[in-house]
Structure 1
Amino acid sequence: MTTLEMISVLDSYFTNEQREELARRREALGPEAVEEARTRFAGLVEQLLGHVRDDIPVDDPRVQDLLWRWEELGSAFHAQGAGGERTKAAARQMWQDQGAGLSRSLPWAAEKMAALMAYLERARAARSSG
């Protein structure tokens, strides 16, 4: 996506307050921690895509552990409490609606990322019901 398209997408999913909080969190973490998070994210995506490919049940303890690690990683970038939960929900909605465009800047195909996001939602539901 072009920079202007990305800004437009972010503007339509996140409030000004949410975008400012995300920027503050990135700045507070610093560039090294952000880069380390990107590396961890890539590793989690690869592991989870393997589980998607192998049709591992979402309630499998290995999947639930990866989901916990995924959410822990994302939590570093979100505020605590209800505000952070709203930001996380906005990010999930953005991925659901705009995944194809967002995936253009990632090394994984949009279809794989869409399948991964759906898998994570099912894993969250399994955790909630378990």
Structure 2
Amino acid sequence: QLDEHRKRREELEAARAEIERLTAAMAPGENEHKAAEGLTTRADLVKVIAQLSHDFVEGTEYAFENAVQQIKCLNPDVELVTRGMHVNGEVKDGQIVIPASLADSDDEEDDAEVVHEEDHEDEQGDGREQEDRCEE
């Protein structure tokens, strides 16, 4: 019975040591981002990273489109050419270049945007209404 008690005590001490080790491993790092708070598995972390990445892309696209709309608003008399502009485009040697890694998915998005722009033009008529609202 004494041996059994000693064995159980050793198991308990080993379990406590393991809990302490795991708790220390789960402690937040010095500069850990708030988004990682409370995550317990790698899968959780990957999911949060994917969501943050998605949110960042959406925010960037919104900001880009917003900037284009503001430029159009501030310059109503200028026929601003936006076809070919892209949120990830860079000007190189006088041309807009889209990184190859983004080109395939962008073609699909551009097709959808062209349809959307055409539908949007029908709603706005001759464009005067947009200019008037913009000048206010």
TM-score by length of structure 2 reads: 0.32
Pick the structure with greater CA Rg. 2
Q: Which has the higher strand share?
A: 2
Q: Which has the higher helix share?
A: 1
Structure with bigger RCO (C-alpha 8 Å, 6+ apart): 1
